[in-house]
């Protein structure tokens, strides 16, 4: 059984006990524990089930690379699945539950898959779910969806907050082990701005566990000394619990800081995503130990040798009383020595190598009396939910059992792989290191910046340096080189620390144990523990033709689990290389992508949630609308009132009331959102003649003109009324959604094409609250306010004037989008609400009512006015809408002119705008298509038109619509058929689009 040792652990505070629960069971641990070490201390080896076969799973590692020990953490608003127990710090009251099992962790029905594993090889799903086709929708897809994913998605709203932080530095160093610390010390001494981030809660990495001596003292003393020096440097920022998640172009990097995961009740954000711009990035990300591929290597109790050592040294946890060590390198001997010194039994070390002499750690282990079998390996591990023993064989053979040894833990080591992820994210290349059987950064091909120079440098184990002295020296040299390239200088006395060298025998790559393992053994030798990919699966993929590593990965799901193959990748591709008789470097790796380990989605969203999810634009009258029954409609980022509900009336009734009231009495519309762009300069007239299809240069000062704007391709993009303010100045109204884009459109043409034209533009949209005062009583209301003359003679239709009304400084445009007598009045936004209230007061006995966007739409549709976005959709030209009158024939050019002369644009068969009147007075469904004779190649009915706008008109008491119809204007009076989606067929007559006051008498009074 696994248990806590009396010796205590390096990171443990045994005077600070904590209680926590696992699957509802109350357990105890200490401050300094991870959830994994605390569970192991309570003999809770079983922590989860694997994805495909529901195999029992326990920890295999002690850090970020852990594939197995994934749990649900927390509950309700703090529930989170797939959390690695190995990096979860224990805190008082922690709640964890296991995943992917039913009905319980100990007894799991899904484990039946294990017995079917012979029938569930690689690619099973691809093969199985192909046929019969009809099964996909109703059987296969629901089944796959049900079994997809280990954890469950949280259901409650996240209780925490998150944030970003933008940081800038000369040197970002990722990894706070001895290499990262040394790099930071060196860079810090040069005066460069340095950020050093470490993903765990401790500095120093695994060096203190692995021992040795630096500058004649202990590794721990060296770390403490270096830290003290770093803490004294003002130019160095140190962050624990902060993972370098990704490296991107131009020295951009993301670091993920976990602020309250270990103290959920603390104030402040839970995670902080650092968005860092660094002059150079040093990756001191260390290395990860590889498992060995032997039968039964996934049984709980089989663990990486370094992890087993970590649990003993750091947390005082023993995984078992008797541990068999199996290795292809010297490093794992440290585990045997550590266990022996802790008073635990190591019955045998199985070393796949045959070494000519005993030096270094091998010699030490033997001196401690540990039995060492050279040239041996594991044929298979015995046990189900726990290791009970190992069967020993010759590494060179096929697995014939030479001896069985009882044990309750196995420490395996297949060598070490540098963590090259961050080096690779932005294009750093790798080289195959034959001596260590691993991929290392190819220093000749770093990720390059805009200047063609590398902007990432690896340091220490991440660079393929494994001896302590090499690590320190490499980190020092890396930082020295980096700061020098950034024009900083190191003081002369800064030198790399010296570490004692250990004699070491070379490792021997072992990709299968034993070398000639039978199919039966290969079927039980796991590569990917989480996704259940075995040696046999990768070989099958190769056999079936998936020779590219990227294809084999997807076919077998190797490395596609939440750990992204940190343990399985190299073993998997070595297996693939073996099956293909190819060199490992020729097979290559799959692509390393950010983030290094999963980061919370909420940290990416940062502050963008709840109230601040996205900016919401409010007019100066927003608060009044809100207090007076506004039903909101989103228009771009604005909120505009769709209608103002009174009492218990329905929204539809409110709209009908508002429309009628505008025609009969007096309506007020908040038109503040409409774009207002000032265009000024000696060439402004010429410029606007290019922007608009009609003439704007001939507009007289004091007058207004409706204009159309097209894209280069001739399509209608915006419309609005333009007013000539003075000889040099025009004010262009745009649609609400067009304010920013049309402003940008104008700037683009002025800056890139007509840069020598003397024109300045300014977007003054938000300077004004603009209120449309509309209806037969409009003039009376304004006269009551008093001030400027608003009579027909003084201010005619399509004219504007500056003046005062009721003490407010105003500009009035006599323009109408409703067909009624209408004044659009602009006042400075800071006075908008007061002016609105003044209008309501004087209009009180004139039947004044505010109206919303839906009433606005109906009023304009009754008049046959088009709306950008309804009658246009990016494929419509003004000619389609019968707007030829607004296209100047006198001008040589305007944007879109040439495009509109192309054959497709002039084709008589283009659908054209008409009015549509239902034969029974009902309202056509929006977007409905008119069907013609016959069917097309796909067997669909031919279509000859579509509805672009449709409303119930309260003034006409019937449905009215506009639509684009084939040869429409030539077919007046014809009846078209529009099938609805509700089974009903609508019939409508083609009519003139102007339904109301065709002569325009009402607006011109």
Partner 1 sequence: MSEPVTALMGAEDKVGIATITEGGPLGMITLRGDLSDKALKKAAVAAGGVTMPEQGHCNNEGEKGIAWMSPDELLIMCPYVEVHDRLADLQAKLAKGHALAVNVSDARATFLVTGPRAREVMGKLSPVDLHPDRFQPGMFRRTRLAQIPAAFWMPEEETFQIVCFRSVARYAFDVLKVAAQPGSEVGYFTS
Interface residue list for partner 1 (CB under 8 A):
161, 163-168, 193, 234, 237, 266-269, 272, 275, 277, 606-608, 611-612, 614-620, 637-638, 678, 680-682, 758, 760-762, 764-768, 807-809, 828-831, 833-835
Alpha carbon distance 563, 67 (integer Å): 5
Report the C-alpha gap between 312 and 318 in whole angstroms: 6
> Which CB atom, from 294 or from 730, has the smaller least distance to partner 1?
730
Angle, in degrees to the nearest 10, between helices 832-843 and 778-785: 110
The half-sphere exposure of 754 on its side-chain side, counting CA atoms within 13 A, is: 18
Q: Classify strands 409-413 and 323-327 as parallel, antiparallel or unpaired.
A: parallel
- Minimum separation from the CB atom of position 617 to partner 1 (A): 4
**Which one, 171 or 965, has the nearer CB to partner 1?**
171
Nearer to partner 1, 193 or 473 (CB): 193
How far apart CA 719 and CA 144 sit, in angstroms, is 51
> CA 882, CA 408: separation in Å to the nearest integer?
86
Minimum separation from the CB atom of position 55 to partner 1 (A)? 42
When the beta carbons of 54 and 743 are compared against partner 1, the nearer one is 743
Number of Cβ within 10 Å of residue 970's Cβ equals: 12
Q: How far apart are CA 787 and CA 779, in angstroms?
A: 12
Give the residue with the Cβ less far from partner 1, 664 or 766: 766
Q: State residue 437 phi and psi, 5-degree precision.
A: 60, 50
Integer Cα distance of 855 and 775 in angstroms: 13
Please state the closest distance from residue 720 (CB atom) to partner 1, in A: 18
- CB of 694 closer than 8 Å to CB of 888: yes
Which residue, 136 or 252, is less far from partner 1 as judged by CB?
A: 252
If you ran DSSP here, which 8-state letter would residue 408 be given?
A: S
What is the rounded CA–CA span in Å between residue 114 and residue 110? 8
Please report the DSSP string for 642-666 in residue order: EEE--TT--HHHHHHHHHHHHHHSE
Q: In angstroms, what is the minimal distance from the CB of 619 to partner 1? A: 7
- Tokens matching residue 18: 């904590």
Cβ 281 to partner 1 shortest distance, Å: 17
Structure letter (DSSP) for residue 105: S
Q: How far is CA 204 from the centre of its chain?
A: 32
- In whole angstroms, the minimum distance from the beta carbon of 623 to partner 1 comes to 9
Please name the residues in contact with 444: beta carbons below 8 A apart, sequence gap of 6 or more: 429
The minimum distance between CB 734 and partner 1, in angstroms, equals 15
| 955 neighbors 660 (Cβ within 8 angstroms) | yes
CB 785 within 8 A of CB 803: no
Question: Minimum distance between the CB of residue 829 and partner 1, rounded to whole angstroms?
Answer: 4
Tokens for 692, please give them: 């608009």
Q: Which two tokens stand for residue 755?
A: 């840069």
Which neighbouring-strand residues pair with 195? 172, 237
> Please, are residues 716 and 709 in contact by the beta-carbon 8 Å criterion?
yes
Q: Which is nearer to partner 1, 314 or 619 (CB)?
A: 619
Q: At what angle do helices 178-189 and 468-485 cross, to 10 degrees?
A: 30
Shortest distance in whole angstroms from residue 684 CB to partner 1: 10
Among residues 131 and 755, whose Cβ is nearest to partner 1? Answer: 755
Classify 473 as helix, strand or coil.
helix
* In the complex, least distance from residue 162 CB atom to partner 1, rounded to whole angstroms: 10
Query: In this complex, which beta carbon is closest to partner 1, that of residue 297 or of residue 763?
Result: 763
The per-type count for the chain, helices as H runs and strands as E runs, is 28, 51
Q: Which is nearer to partner 1, 102 or 760 (CB)?
A: 760
Residue among 119 and 755 whose Cβ is closer to partner 1: 755
**Of 824, 819, 851, 785, whose CA–CA distance to 1005 is shortest?**
819
Q: What is the DSSP string of 952-1005?
A: EETTTTEEEEEEEETTGGGGTT-EEEEE-TTSPEEEEEEE-S--S-TT-TTT--
Shortest gap between Cβ of 250 and partner 1 (angstroms)?
13
Strands in 387-394's sheet, in edge-to-edge order, are 376-383, 387-394, 403-406
Q: Cα(768)–Cα(771) distance, rounded to whole angstroms? A: 9
Smallest gap, in angstroms, from Cβ of residue 824 to partner 1? 17
Select from 198, 860, 298, 365 the least CA-distant residue to 530. 298
Instruction: Please report how close the Cβ of residue 830 comes to partner 1 at its closest, in angstroms.
Output: 4
- Closest approach, Cβ 141 to partner 1, in A, equals 37
Nearer residue to partner 1 within complex by CB, 592 or 638? 638
Least spacing, CB of residue 687 vs partner 1, in Å: 13
| C-alpha triplet 846, 852, 854: angle, nearest 5° | 125
Q: How far apart are CA 144 and CA 131, in angstroms?
A: 15
Q: What is the dihedral angle through the alpha carbons of 203, 248, 86, 164, rounded to the nearest 10 degrees?
A: 80
Q: Which is nearer to partner 1, 23 or 235 (CB)?
A: 235
- H/E run at residue 812: strand 808-813
> Please, what is the minimum distance in Å from the beta carbon of residue 639 to partner 1?
10
CB of 230 to partner 1, least distance (A): 12
Give the shortest CB-198-to-partner 1 separation in angstroms: 15
User: Closest CB to partner 1 among 385 and 831?
Assistant: 831
Tally of CB atoms within 10 A around 196: 28
Residue 163 or residue 799: which is nearer to partner 1 going by CB? 163
Cβ proximity to partner 1: between 621 and 988 the closer is 621
Nearest-CA neighbor of 891 among 744, 753, 594, 685? 685
Interatomic CA distance for residues 820 and 72, integer angstroms: 64
Using the minimum distance from each CB to partner 1, give the nearer residue, 275 or 515. 275
Give the residue with the Cβ less far from partner 1, 60 or 195.
Answer: 195
């Amino acid at each position: 059984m696994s248990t806590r040792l009396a010796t205590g652990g390096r990171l443990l505070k045994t005077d600070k006990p904590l209680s926590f629960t696992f699957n509802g069971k109350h357990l105890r641990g200490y401050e300094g524990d991870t959830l994994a070490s605390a569970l192991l201390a309570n003999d809770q080896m079983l922590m989860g089930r694997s994805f495909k076969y529901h195999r029992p799973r326990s920890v295999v590692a002690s850090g970020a690379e852990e594939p197995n020990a994934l749990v649900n953490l927390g509950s309700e608003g703090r529930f989170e699945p797939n959390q690695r127990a190995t990096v979860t710090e224990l805190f008082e009251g922690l709640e964890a539950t296991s995943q992917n099992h039913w009905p319980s962790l100990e007894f799991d029905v899904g484990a039946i898959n294990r017995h079917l594993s012979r029938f569930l090889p690689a690619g099973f799903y691809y093969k199985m779910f192909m046929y019969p086709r009809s099964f996909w929708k109703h059987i296969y897809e629901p089944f796959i969806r049900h079994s997809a994913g280990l954890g469950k998605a949280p259901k409650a709203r996240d209780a925490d907050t998150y944030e970003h932080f933008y940081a800038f530095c000369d040197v970002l160093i990722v990894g706070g082990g001895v290499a990262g610390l040394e790099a930071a010390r060196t860079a810090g001494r040069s005066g460069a701005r340095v950020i050093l981030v470490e993903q765990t809660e401790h500095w120093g990495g695994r060096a203190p566990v692995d021992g040795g001596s630096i500058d004649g003292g202990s590794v721990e003393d060296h770390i403490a000394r270096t830290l003290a020096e770093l803490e004294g440097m003002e130019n160095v920022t140190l962050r624990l619990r902060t993972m370098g998640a990704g490296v991107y172009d131009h020295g951009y990097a993301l670091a993920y800081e976990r602020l309250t995961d270990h103290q959920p009740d603390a104030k402040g954000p839970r995670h902080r995503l650092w968005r860092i711009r660094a002059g150079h990035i040093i990756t001191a990300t260390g290395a990860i130990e590889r498992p060995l591929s032997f039968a039964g290597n996934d049984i709980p109790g089989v663990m990486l040798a370094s992890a087993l050592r970590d649990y003993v040294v750091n947390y005082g946890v023993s995984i078992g009383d008797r541990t068999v060590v199996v290795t292809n390198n010297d490093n794992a001997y440290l585990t045997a020595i550590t266990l022996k010194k802790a008073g635990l039994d190591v019955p045998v070390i199985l070393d796949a190598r045959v070494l000519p002499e005993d030096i270094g750690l091998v010699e030490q282990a033997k001196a401690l009396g540990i039995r060492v079998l050279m040239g041996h390996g594991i044929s298979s591990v015995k046990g189900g939910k726990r290791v009970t023993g190992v069967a020993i064989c010759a590494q060179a053979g096929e697995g014939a059992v030479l001896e069985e040894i009882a044990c309750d833990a196995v420490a395996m080591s297949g060598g070490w792989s540098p963590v090259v992820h961050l080096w690779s994210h932005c294009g750093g290349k790798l080289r195959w290191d034959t001596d260590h059987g691993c991929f290392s950064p190819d220093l000749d091909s770093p990720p390059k910046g805009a200047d063609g120079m590398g902007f990432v440098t690896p340091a220490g184990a991440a660079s393929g340096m494994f001896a302590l002295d090499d690590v320190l020296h490499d980190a020092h040299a890396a930082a020295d080189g980096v700061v020098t390239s950034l024009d900083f200088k190191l003081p002369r006395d800064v030198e790399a620390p010296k570490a004692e060298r250990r004699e070491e025998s070379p490792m021997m790559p072992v990709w299968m144990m034993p070398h000639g393992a039978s199919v039966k053994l290969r079927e039980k030798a796991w590569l990917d523990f989480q996704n259940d990919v075995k040696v046999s699966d990768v070989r099958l993929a190769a056999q079936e033709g998936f020779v590219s590593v990227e294809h084999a990965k997807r076919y077998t799901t190797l490395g596609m689990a939440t750990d992204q193959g940190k343990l399985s990748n190299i073993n998997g591709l070595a297996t693939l290389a073996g099956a293909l008789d190819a060199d490992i470097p020729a097979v290559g790796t799959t692509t390393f992508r950010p983030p290094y380990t999963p980061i919370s989605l909420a940290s990416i969203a940062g502050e963008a949630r709840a109230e601040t999810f996205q900016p919401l634009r409010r007019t100066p009258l927003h608060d009044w609308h809100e207090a007076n029954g506004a039903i909101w409609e989103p228009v771009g980022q604005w909120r505009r009132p769709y209608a103002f509900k009174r009492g218990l009336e329905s929204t539809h009734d409110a709209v009908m009331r508002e429309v009628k009231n505008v025609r009969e009495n007096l309506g007020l519309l908040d038109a503040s959102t409409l774009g207002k762009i000032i265009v000024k300069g000696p060439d402004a007239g010429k410029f606007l003649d290019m922007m608009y299809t009609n003439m704007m240069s001939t507009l007289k000062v004091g007058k207004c003109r409706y204009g159309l704007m097209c894209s280069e391709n001739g399509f209608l993009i915006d419309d609005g009324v333009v007013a000539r303010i003075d000889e040099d100045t025009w004010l262009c109204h745009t649609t609400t959604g067009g304010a920013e884009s049309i402003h940008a459109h104008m700037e683009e043409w002025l800056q890139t094409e007509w840069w020598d034209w003397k024109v300045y533009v300014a977007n003054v949209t938000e300077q004004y609250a603009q209120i449309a005062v509309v209806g037969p009583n409009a003039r009376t209301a304004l006269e009551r306010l008093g001030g400027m003359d608003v009579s027909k003679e003084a201010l005619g239709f399509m004219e504007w004037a500056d003046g005062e009304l009721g003490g407010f400084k105003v500009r009035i445009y006599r323009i109408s989008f409703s067909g009624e007598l209408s004044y659009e009045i602009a006042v400075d936004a800071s006075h908008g609400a007061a002016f609105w209230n003044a209008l309501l007061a004087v209009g009180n006995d004139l039947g004044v009512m505010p109206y919303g966007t839906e009433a606005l739409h109906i009023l304009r549709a009754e008049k046959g006015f088009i709306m950008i976005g309804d009658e246009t959709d990016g494929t419509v030209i003004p000619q389609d809408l019968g707007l030829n009158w607004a296209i100047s024939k006198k001008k040589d050019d305007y944007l879109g002119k040439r495009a509109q002369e192309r054959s497709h644009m002039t084709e008589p068969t283009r659908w054209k705008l008409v009015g549509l009147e239902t034969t029974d007075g009902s309202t056509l469904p929006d977007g409905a298509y008119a069907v013609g004779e016959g069917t097309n190649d796909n067997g669909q009915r031919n279509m000859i038109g579509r509805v672009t706008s449709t409303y119930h008109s309260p003034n006409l008491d019937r449905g009215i619509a506009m639509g684009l119809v084939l040869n429409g204007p030539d077919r007046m009076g014809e009846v078209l058929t529009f099938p609805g989606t509700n089974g009903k067929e609508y019939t409508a007559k083609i009519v003139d689009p102007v339904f109301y006051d065709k002569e325009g008498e009402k607006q011109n009074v």
